[in-house]
Amino acid sequence: MAKDDLFCHNWEMSSAHKLAASSFSGGAPSLLTARLLVLAAAVLWSSGGFFAKFHAIDDWPGPLRAFWRAAFACVILLPLIRRPQWSWKLIPATLIFAAMNYTYLTAMAKGTAANAIWLQSTAQMWVLLVGVLVFRERAVFRDWLLVLLCGLGIAFILAFEAQGKSLDAVIYGLFSGIFYAGVVLSLRQMREFESAWLVGLNHLVTAVVLSPWAISSYQSGEHWPSGWLWLVLAGFGMLQMGLPYVLFARGLKTIPGHEASGIGLLEPLLVPIWAYFVTAGEEVPKWWTLAGGGLIFTGLVVRYLGSARSEVQDNSPPTAT
């Protein structure tokens, strides 16, 4: 595929990474500090496996979990906005982002965290296919290898989950990857917008769109938080979603995008581990999830290494002749 700029390159590694591709404010940290900031962001993003699978909300519907995460994330993200801009393009972009959150956390609620995160990670494949088929972008060998490995990973997971009771969770996970790709493609059309504005608005609209589930919960008294559970939900939104954007954006001021994206690949590896510990070992990925996720991860790594090599070459100074 034709080489993307740094903004789009970071947006294609994970849903959170892409939203933080532009820095917010403050001076550039040292190289070591920047790497630790990005590492901390990846670990915090991966803690979604802990919060989404927390026992006290284990029977909550996915949209309700997504509402509270987005609502509390706004506490951190909205004050960062400096340059709000309006465009009709924001309407489909924010609605697609809300749909991505709906499907992803529904996949988490109905199935395993491993299936949800790996199927959402196939977004890069869908972005590639739309780029080639719709926008006539050029694809290279590693791009098609990504499509092949992601396709095999999806087929592997679907083939075995279709025999059990978690097929609907897999379908939601697959659609979360498709909607995530839609987020990337829509945001490619808004590169001139402040990233803090896009991040904050996306979460605000998500909270508004999913608020009927919260209103219904309040009216019925079922699944309405109380006591210490408020702290858990605040952590879900502020620590798992809001704070990592700030850390990742600050780290990007010093380290190159390909290095930050490489560190970010830790996120899908850590999500199932968080889920394993918070469920006291009850949620263990099936062997076909590990196999399918391994294929998807291999495809992402292959494309990441190729993109990183190209970025390093493009940024290297010309040799004297």
Sign of CA dihedral 247, 262, 101, 139: positive
* Its pTM surpasses 0.75: yes
Buried b (16+ CB within 10 A) or exposed e, 178-191: bbbbbbbbbbbebe
Q: Is the pLDDT of residue 7 over 60?
A: no
Return the number of other C-beta atoms located less than 10 Å from residue 40's C-beta. 16
208-245 pLDDT per residue, tens: 999 999 999 999 999 999 999 999 999 999 999 999 98
Torsion angle defined by CA atoms of residues 169, 171, 172 and 174, in that order, rounded to the nearest 10 degrees: 120
27-77 pLDDT per residue, tens: 688 889 999 999 999 999 999 999 999 999 999 999 999 999 999 999 999
170-202 pLDDT per residue, tens: 999 999 999 999 998 998 888 888 888 999 999
What pLDDT score was predicted for residue 8? 41
Q: Is the pLDDT of residue 26 over 70?
A: no
Nearest to 171 by CA among 115, 230, 231, 216: 115
Taking all residues of the chain, what is their mean pLDDT, rounded to a whole number?
87
The span from the CA of 71 to the CA of 58, in Å, is 19
